[in-house]
Amino acid sequence: MCGTLMLATLLNYMDRQALPQTATDLKALYHLDDTRYGLLEGCFSYAFAAGSILFGLIADRVGPRRLYPLVLLGWSAAGLLTPCMAAPSITQHLEGPGDEPGAGPFRWLLLCRTILGLFESGHWPCALLTARQILTAAERPLGNGLLQSGASLGAILIPLYVREVRHLGGEWGVVFWTVGAGGLLWIPLWLVLVRPNDLNRPLPPSADAPVGPPTSVAIRQILTLAVVVASLTVSWQFLRAWLPKYLKESQKLSADDADFAVAGFYIAAEIGCLLSGVWVKLLVSRGLRVHSARLVGFTLYAAITALAAVVPLADSNSAKVSLLMVAGAGILGLHPYYYALAQELPAKWMASLSGTLAASAWFLAGFVQTQLGSYIDQTKSYALGLTIAGLAPLTGLVAVVLLWPSRGRVTS
């Protein structure tokens, strides 16, 4: 079952990253300039934010067995239909007199990416509810690790897959419809493996369920988490969406070299994520309090992420790619610290608050993506985006230091 969840996560991220990996080709073919690309990423983020709340509520009422296939169907259909932007018989109905070149294909792509963002957001509540039902408390860390590994593996595979499609003579649309078809094939696998009553069993009561802290403490926790998740989401989403375009269009790397560099970036990010917990465990074993160990780790990883702001100053492409890889390890490595802090929220509010915090962060990320798209289009410079991506997590660090309450901190 964990393998099935991991496969869904892999498909989720491959569908998401298909556009960044092919955006340079689409720019030449359909006038997909950076302003339009920023709007695509912004609308994806807005839809993901809204879907996080919507599907979280639906999943609690309907359950993942029935909802999960619909979610996969929705985002897979969005991927399958994306290549229709190349069909004038369809896109001509989306154009009007006086429109700029490429308006019809762009509007079709915008519709598909918005639908993709909406339905992709439903993956996480379904996956997490399933893991909670089928795994014991002791097994959940491994199950959650497999979920995260699926996202990382999908991000690593998609640039290599795009490269192979290109070398085999396939056009950009092949990437979208083949990955989308993979999602459709996942649906019968899910229905065969999960029987109607498998996910309806009552959860065993938790013997160590935490008692909710005082309201003032909870408010400080929520404010801290809001700043942290917003800073991490803005940083990561810029690098995720713009890295392939930056390497190909700004740094003039060949398509093959850029694809390998992007795959290396995600490999480095996964290593950083895995090591983030190792440092905490090592520091705690040497007598440091858990919260203090997390703070040390957060500080280290925020400093590493800040190297993204230095990238524009590097004098060679190899140095820039190396700095980006290290920064990628830093930003993804910060996420487990956020999850650990979120798990200290009052138990009865944890799910709803986590979803609301994530949605607010995605709304902010959508706004930033849209604004940066226009900025990059006008200036042809990625320096501002890289600076924001590098320095944003430092605001999260300041929030943890100044706002996180001393009461309720984990000490062992």
pLDDT tens-digit map of 193-219: 877 666 555 554 444 444 555 577 878
Q: Provide CB contacts within 8 A for 23, sequence distance 6+.
A: 32, 37, 244, 245
Contact 389, 331 (CB under 8 A): yes
Q: What is the sign, positive or negative, of the torsion defined by CA atoms of 128, 132, 133, 139?
A: positive
pLDDT of residue 408: 46
Q: How far apart are CA 352 and CA 346, in angstroms?
A: 11
Residue count of the chain, please give it. Answer: 412
Q: Provide CB contacts within 8 A for 29, sequence distance 6+.
A: 86, 172
pLDDT of residue 227: 95
pLDDT of residue 9: 87
Report, as ranges of residue numbers, the positions in the chain whose pLDDT lies below 70.
Answer: 1-2, 131-132, 134-148, 196-214, 343, 346-352, 406-412
pLDDT of residue 206: 45
Q: How far apart are CA 302 and CA 254, in angstroms?
A: 31
pLDDT of residue 208: 43
pLDDT of residue 218: 79
Q: How far is CA 289 from the centre of its chain?
A: 30
pLDDT of residue 197: 67
* Alpha helices, H only, 63-214: 64-81, 88-91, 103-120, 123-134, 140-167, 172-193
Q: Which domains does the chain have, with CATH numbers?
A: 1-201 (1.20.1250.20), 211-412 (1.20.1250.20)
Measured at the CA of 380, the angle between CA 360 and CA 31, to 5 degrees, comes to 85
Entry pTM = 0.88
Contact 239, 41 (CB under 8 A): no
Q: How far apart are CA 190 and CA 364, in angstroms?
A: 34
Q: How far apart are CA 102 and CA 85, in angstroms?
A: 10
Q: What share of the chain is helix, strand, coil (3-state, %, to 5)?
A: 80, 0, 20
Q: How far apart are CA 195 and CA 191, in angstroms?
A: 7
CA-based Rg of the chain, rounded to a whole angstrom? 21
Token pair 């203090």: residue: 292
pLDDT of residue 85: 93
Contact 299, 397 (CB under 8 A): yes
pLDDT of residue 207: 41
Q: How far apart are CA 84 and CA 96, in angstroms?
A: 18
pLDDT of residue 262: 96
